[in-house]
Amino acid sequence: MKRIESIQNSFVKHWKKLVLTRKERDQSGEFLIEGFHLVEEALKAGNVILTLIKREDVELPENWPIDNVAIIEVTGAVAKEISETERSQGVYAHCRQPVHDETAQTWEKLLFIDAVQDPGNVGTMIRTADAAGIDAVILGKGSADPYNPKTVRSAQGSHFNVPVIRGDLTEWVEKAKARGIRIIGTSLEDAVNYTDEQSNGKFALIVGNEGSGLSPELLSLTDANVKIPIYGKAESLNVAVATGILLYAYSTK
């Protein structure tokens, strides 16, 4: 097992950049994950881990399928350098970003995310989409980086279960419509209660920015717009919570 003791090591510098900068993640097509659960999910996915990294005082689970995985042991100082959490579990994985066939014609349940900027919300929506059986998540311009450490942590491994793709939502809406998929937008104006909208199992739900909602361009392309009623005094629902309500309402019909 290789061991790294210096924070000046080139691998350590690269791992740290993957944690800190979107540019490094985008240019390399890689990202760093942290914690036993996320690493285990990556191992289950297969062929995404480039290097498994463990702090010197950490023992890896005996049942992990790591016979053919490169493992590097690091000192506490190195682990601290690449940790994104304050109380790190001391296990990490340097991963390649999953690549998906964007021309797939079998996706019938889609989540389109329009300019949602908070990484925690985006990660939660990816996780919820995975749980609700959604076929793919498409992130539009202005949305948080899906491989931001906070996004990845909030998604809890769902990046390895459901395709997460960055793209032009207008183009994706047009492609979905061409395949007979109903486009459901979210809006407070010219919208019906979400329970009044019926799904035949083929739909693309578009959710928008936390403050301004969907862009006018996307709203002009929807087949229907829905809203969730507020019964108490809260002004609005968190976008991730609203997304969960709607995905379960339409994916189970």
Whether pLDDT at 79 is above 70: yes
Which residues are registered as beta bridge partners of 217?
A: none
What are 220-249's pLDDT values in tens digits? 999 999 999 999 999 999 999 999 999 999
What are 104-157's pLDDT values in tens digits? 678 999 999 999 999 999 999 999 999 999 999 999 999 999 999 999 999 999
The answer to whether residue 168 is domain-embedded is yes
Strand order in the sheet with 49-55: 2-4, 71-74, 49-55, 91-96, 30-34
Same domain, 116 and 87: no
Q: Which of 45, 66, 96 is the last residue of a domain?
A: 96
Q: Say which CATH number the domain at 158 has.
A: 3.40.1280.10
The answer to whether residue 45 is domain-embedded is yes
Whether pLDDT at 189 is above 90: no
- List of long-range contacts for 247-250, beta carbons under 8 Å, 24+ apart: 247/111, 247/128, 247/129, 247/132, 247/134, 247/205, 248/132, 249/194, 249/195, 249/199, 250/109, 250/184, 250/197, 250/199, 250/203, 250/205
Query: What is the rounded distance in angstroms from the CA atom of residue 154 to the CA atom of residue 54?
Result: 22
- Mean pLDDT calculated for residue range 65-70: 95
Instruction: Bin 6: left if φ > 0, else alpha if -120 < ψ < 50, else beta.
Output: beta
Q: Say which CATH number the domain at 57 has.
A: 3.30.1330.30
Quick count: other Cβ atoms within 10 Å of Cβ 144? 21
Find all residues with CB under 8 Å of 225, minimum gap 6, and list them. Answer: 184, 185, 186, 187, 189, 190, 191, 192, 219
Q: Which of 72, 96, 120 is the last residue of a domain?
A: 96
Same domain, 214 and 125: yes
Same domain, 118 and 193: yes
Find tokens 């931001």 and name the residue: 148
Same domain, 177 and 88: no
What range defines the domain where residue 58 resides? 2-96
What are 16-37's pLDDT values in tens digits? 999 999 999 999 999 999 999 9
Give how far Cα 63 sits from Cα of 40, 42, 66, 182, 204, Å: 10, 14, 9, 44, 39
The answer to whether residue 175 is domain-embedded is yes
Same domain, 35 and 146: no
- Lowest average pLDDT, out of 60-64, 69-73, 124-128, 197-201, goes to 197-201
| pLDDT band of 253, cuts 50, 70, 90 | low
- Within its chain, how far is the Cα of 122 from the centroid? 6
Q: Which of 39, 67, 96 is the last residue of a domain?
A: 96
Same domain, 22 and 60: yes
Whether pLDDT at 175 is above 80: yes
Residue length of the chain: 253
As a whole-number percent, the residues of the chain with pLDDT over 90 amount to: 90
The answer to whether residue 101 is domain-embedded is no
Same domain, 8 and 89: yes
- Mean pLDDT calculated for residue range 75-94: 96
Name the domain count of the chain: 2
The answer to whether residue 104 is domain-embedded is no
Same domain, 56 and 12: yes
| DSSP per-residue codes, 57-93 | TPPPPTTS--TTS-EEEE-HHHHHHH--SSS--SEEE
pLDDT at 4: 98
Same domain, 221 and 192: yes
The answer to whether residue 103 is domain-embedded is no
| pLDDT band of 252, cuts 50, 70, 90 | confident
**Sequence-ordered alpha helix ranges (H) in the chain:** 10-20, 22-28, 36-45, 76-82, 119-131, 149-155, 169-178, 216-219, 239-251
Higher confidence at residue 199 or residue 136?
136
Same domain, 178 and 246: yes
The answer to whether residue 225 is domain-embedded is yes
Query: What is the rounded distance in angstroms from the CA atom of residue 160 to the CA atom of residue 158?
Result: 5
Same domain, 88 and 135: no
Same domain, 131 and 83: no
The answer to whether residue 102 is domain-embedded is no
- Mean pLDDT calculated for residue range 92-110: 91
